Amino acid sequence: MCAKKKIAVLTGAGVSAESGLSTYRDNNGLWDNYDPMEVASIEGWFRNRAKVLDFYNGQREKLRNVQPNDAHRTIARLDDNFDVCVITQNVDNLHERAGSGRVIHLHGEVTKVRPETGVYDESYSEREVLDIGYEKVVLGDKAPNGSQLRPHIVFFGEAVPKIERAIEVVSGADIVLIVGTSLQVYPAAGLYRYARNDAKIYIIDPAEVPVNESRVIHIRENATCGMKKFLSIVNKE
Ligand code: OAD
């Protein structure tokens, strides 16, 4: 029996756009309406914890009210015939809710919190991470160890602890599929460069994406339509 082909799927906010969640950098995206340095950076956290908590309370509430779309579902269906690992920059849980089996959240998860350490080195142990679903967190809400709870989000200015695992996945893949990311934020944006020389790279995005590789096949569509096209291509291979 042949081993299943390995697909590394790197997703960004564009995969959740058709579910009704805003992207960050498109017109009227989240960063047009909020300053990321205030609501999503480690400096912003230390300056005004209440503001950061409030921003993520809002994101959690939005997530409660949306559903996975056909792009999430098609990505989940790839599990039937391929050995798939989704590496997402998204902090939503729509890949899991669509049924994807392996999901690495590079930038954290909005439905989770953990105790802050109160210093710039915000390293943590997975055991401290708490799943709060769609609940609100306010200043004064404490972890079992007595520390203020903070969002389980990789803030700007913090390290990306899961990047090593993501590099391993991409460098072992036969196919790298990139869906709905502007590739503006490192180290995630550089991950595709770890693809093997013989790996195929596909991008699904309606806009131009800054990838300088002649082998890239760009499917210029929204995620739902693009994923249908990708599925028919990959099933013929
Ligand atoms: P961006 O907002 O930077 O990029 C969204 C991408 O999705 C763009 O390339 C759009 O063209 C594309 N897009 C929009 N609608 C789409 C659709 N219906 N189908 C497919 N693609 C669509 O979002 P990200 O690249 O995910 O980090 O942003 C990366 C990181 O920056 C985020 O994880 C977040 C943000 O700051 C943190 O907060 C740590």
Distance 1 CA to ligand 1 centre (A): 38
Number of domains comprising the chain: 2
Query: Above pLDDT 90, what percent of the chain?
Result: 92
Measured distance CA(76)–CA(235) in Å, rounded: 14
Burial class (CB in 10 A: 0-12, 13-18, 19+), 38: middle
Structure tokens at 101: 């089996």
Cis (ω within 30 of 0) for the bond into 68? no
| 109 ligand 1 Cβ < 6 A | no
Tokens matching residue 160: 């990306």
Domain boundary among 122, 153, 184: 153
Is the CB–ligand 1 distance for residue 181 below 6 Å?
yes
Tokens 């990047």, located at residue: 163
What is Dmax (Cα atoms) for the chain?
57
Asked if 74 and 175 sit in the same domain, the reply is yes
Q: Which of 96, 131, 153 delimits the end of a domain?
A: 153
The last residue of one of the domains, among 119, 153, 187, is: 153
pLDDT given at position 183 = 96
Structure tokens at 168: 């391993």
- 120 and 147 belong to one structural domain: yes
Instruction: State the residue range of the domain holding 143.
Output: 22-65+111-153
Q: 93: Cβ below 6 Å to ligand 1?
A: no
Same domain for 86 and 167:
yes
| Domain CATH for 216 | 3.40.50.1220
**Minimum-distance ligand 1 atom for the alpha carbon of 222:** 19
Confidence of residue 236 (pLDDT cuts 50, 70, 90): confident
Asked whether residue 126 falls in the same domain as residue 28, the answer is yes
CB 218 within 8 A of CB 209: yes
By DSSP bridging, strand 108-115 and strand 149-153 are: antiparallel
Cα(3) to ligand 1 centroid in Å equals 33
Tell which atom from ligand 1 comes closest to the C-alpha of 11: 26
What CATH number should be reported for the domain holding residue 146? 3.30.1600.10
Where does the pLDDT of residue 1 fall: very low under 50, low under 70, confident under 90, or very high at 90 and above? low
Shared-domain flag, residues 72 and 95: yes
Shared-domain flag, residues 145 and 42: yes
The sheet carrying 130-131 orders its strands as 130-131, 108-115, 149-153
Query: For residue 17, how far is its CA from the centre of ligand 1 (angstroms)?
Result: 9
Smallest CA separation from ligand 1 atom 29, residue: 185
- CA 220 – ligand 1 centroid, Å: 15
pLDDT digits (tens, 9 = 90+) for 170-229: 999 999 999 999 999 999 999 999 999 999 999 999 999 988 888 999 999 999 999 999
186 and 230: one domain? yes
| In a shared domain, residues 164 and 200 | yes
Rounded CA-CA distance 76/127 in Å is 27
55 and 94 belong to one structural domain: no
What is d(CA 237, CA 40) in angstroms, rounded to the nearest whole number? 41
Same-domain check for residues 143 and 218: no
Give the position, in ligand 1's atom list, of the atom nearest the Cα of 29: 2
Catalytic residues: 107
Whether the predicted pLDDT of 45 surpasses 80? yes
Residue 124 has pLDDT above 70, yes or no: yes
Ligand 1 atom closest to the Cα of residue 209 is 9
For residues 54 and 93, membership in a common domain is answered with no
Tell me the backbone φ, ψ of residue 197, rounded to 5 degrees: -60, -30
Q: Is the CB of 157 under 6 A from ligand 1?
A: no
Residues 51 and 44: their CA atoms lie apart, in Å, by 9
Query: Using one digit for the tens of pLDDT, what is the confidence trace for 80-96?
Result: 999 999 999 999 999 99
Q: Does position 135 have pLDDT exceeding 90, yes or no?
A: yes
Same domain for 74 and 42:
no
